[in-house]
Structure 1
Amino acid sequence: MPPLAHPLDYLSVDDYLAGERESEQRYEYVEGNVYARAGASTNHNCIAGNLYALIWNHQRGKSCFPMTSDMLVKTTAKRFRYPDLMVVCDDDPSQDTYVRESPILIVEVLSGSTHRQDKTEKRAEYLALPSLLEYVLIEQDIAEVVVQRRSEAWRSTYYYPGSTVTLESIGLTVPVEAIYERVDNADMRVFWAVGDEAS
Structure 2
Amino acid sequence: MSTAEDRTMSMSVKQYLASELERDTKHEFIDGCIYAMAGASINHERISGNIFGELRNHLKGSPCEPLASDMKVKVIDNFYYPDVLVDCNFDSTTPYYTETPVIIVEVLSRSTRRLDETKKLVEYLNIPTLQEYVLIEQDVADVTVYRKSDDWRCVHYFLGDLITFESINLTLAVEEIYYRVENQDVIEYFAVKEPENNPQS
Amino acid corresponding to residue 85 of structure 1 in structure 2: V
Q: What is the deviation of 1:49?
A: 0.2
Q: 2:112 aligns with which of 89, 111, 114?
A: 114
**2:147 partner amino acid:** R
1 CA distance for matches of 2:187 and 2:155? 17
Deviation at 1:195, TM superposition (A): 8.6
Q: Contact 1:94 / 1:101 at 8 angstroms: preserved in 2? A: no
- Offset of residue 17 of structure 1: 0.2
Secondary structure of 2:65's aligned partner: strand
Alpha-carbon distance in structure 2 between the residues aligned to 1:113 and 1:49: 20
- CA distance in 1 between partners of 2:31 and 2:59 (Å): 34
Q: Which residue does the alignment assign to 1:172? A: 170
Answer whether contact 1:161 1:191 (CA < 8 A) is retained: no
**Corresponding residue SS for 2:55:** helix
Letter in 1 for 2:47: I
Cα separation, 2, equivalents of 1:21 and 1:64: 25
Runs of 4+ in 1 over 4 A off after TM superposition: 193-197
The residue that corresponds to 2:129 in the other structure is 131
How many angstroms apart in 2 are the aligned matches of 1:103 and 1:10?
Answer: 26
Q: Which runs of 5+ in 1 are unaligned?
A: none
**C-alpha distance after superposition, 1:102-148 (max 9, x if no partner):** 10000000012221111110111100100000000000000011111
- Whether 1:192 aligns to 2:188 is yes
Matched, 1:54 2:50: no
Scaled by the length of structure 1, the TM-score of the pair is: 0.92
Question: Retained in 2: the 8 A contact 1:94–1:100?
Answer: no
Match of 2:82 in 1: 83
The number of equivalent residue pairs is: 194
The one-letter code sitting in structure 2 at the alignment partner of 1:81 is Y
Query: What code does the residue aligned with 1:166 have?
Result: T
Equivalence for 1:150? 148
Residue identity opposite 1:79 in structure 2: N
- Residue 95 of structure 1 deviates from its aligned partner by 2.1
Counterparts of 1:136 and 1:195, CA distance in 2 = 27
Which residue number corresponds to residue 36 of structure 1? Answer: 36
Match of 1:21 in 2: 21
C-alpha change, 1:54 and 1:190, in structure 2 (3 Å) is closer
Secondary structure in 1 matching 2:156:
strand
CA RMSD, Structure 1 to Structure 2 (Å)? 1.9
Once the two structures are TM-superposed, the CA of residue 191 in structure 1 deviates from its matched residue by: 6.2
TM-score, normalised by the number of residues in structure 2: 0.91
**Aligned letter for 1:130?**
P
2:95 aligned counterpart, secondary structure? coil
- Once residues 80 and 69 of structure 2 are traced to their aligned partners in structure 1, the CA distance between those partners, rounded to angstroms, is 9
CA 20–47 in structure 1, closer or farther in 2 if over 3 Å, else same: same
Distance 2:171 2:55 in 1: 10
| Contact in 2 for aligned 1:75/1:126 (Cα 8 Å) | yes
Structure 2's unaligned 5+ residue stretches are 197-201
